[in-house]
Structure 1
Amino acid sequence: MFYVRLNKLRIIKNGDIIGKGEIQFMSFINQSNDSLPNLNEFFETNDEDRKKEIIKDSVSRVIQSRILMTIDKVKDKSIITFGDTGYIVYKDEKIPQDFSWQIVAVELDKKTRDNAALIKSVLTDSNVDTITKGIQALAKASNPVSGAVVELSKLVVGVILDIAKNKKDDQIGYYLTSFIEKLDYPNGIRDRQDIPDLTGNMFVDYSIFGYQDYAVEAVENLKPL
């Protein structure tokens, strides 16, 4: 099994001039070998309309996969904890060879958007064109489908940040990082505190924990006589 746990977030400024704000945190985690239905078809077809249909479906799936947390009345210099055991934002049955992680923190002045509302906001003609071109750029790679989900997730997050900016919802933080098993969690464990995000306004404490279930592995490796 494999787990990524968010232990604590430290916010320097909440983005609300009144003093307290409602902050929405979105967590996206993707492995490089993740796939989505029809991505193979995306790189095979020359039908531009079909490509856009595939992108719309894929974007919807990425948004629906997010882990969403909304915290009310966040002050400047706040420390946000998730009990004494943290909050699991990702789990898988197997330890991944690598994965990418994004945390978006946006101060919302309006009602929190649900998945359906956010999907509608993201899937404008202009945004779909931008995302389609971004994924199409991977076509030159030897295996374009590999890594397409990670790239798609990054493009979707970019659009979400643009939407927040246009709606005057302040961007509080953006944490973007990638991990490689053999380098970053060779023994299945990694624990870090107070890691700065790209804005310098949010600091992250997290734990990675993975272990091999040898009993399950033995059953999976059994060959019929």
Structure 2
Amino acid sequence: MKKILFIFVLIFIVGCTQARDFSYGVSQLDNIDSKYNTTVETYPNNIPEIDLMINELKELKKLPLEKDQEPFNYLVDYKILNLEVERMIIKGNKYGKSGTTKFGFGCKIRPLITESVSFRNKSSIIGFEAVSLLREFVDKYPEDASSVGLSYKNSLFLNATFYQISKEARRDSRVINNFCPASTVLELYQAEFRKKTNLSEDFINNLSYEEAAPIWKELRGIT
């Protein structure tokens, strides 16, 4: 009787002890996804949560596995890169339609467009890095990648997405620099400062575009 009881206890313990392999790592990753209501391909829609999630994933990557450490690291790194992409996209969309030339524009919003372009360019650069990493993951560990719903199809979709982001950013940069060079915008700002501020004429005349742009943003209440 004692022997039978011992066997049952042993079976129970073995059954409850999960091997620290790729599946175990994914289960820990799933816990983080559940916390932030995300998936392997969806992310938080605000920067504070993105930053918190990145920190948790970096800590999770330190988790020692008995096997499958490399494929697990690929997956975590892929998630982190995509979170960094999402952060840049959110920053790039900060000004809405005022951050692009697509819907019409005035020259005074040049700094909003150039700032948006900068963040969108950064998002595409990091995005292409994520695509490259995903392809490596799928090449080296196709079964592990498939088990979490990742394949070349994902990389093709993401590559097309980041290409479009990069293309539109380049277009906005070209248009704003062609129609609204910094020197022209500076003159517009100086004229506005003379009408709407108590800044001295000497101070206004000696401003560079880089100095004038943040003053204009503050004057317009743009943060």
TM-score, structure 1 as length reference: 0.27
More RCO (CA 8 Å, sep 6+): 1
Of Structure 1 and Structure 2, the greater strand share is in: 1
TM-score, normalised to structure 2's length?
A: 0.27
Q: Which has the larger radius of gyration?
A: 2
Report the structure, 1 or 2, having the larger helix content: 2
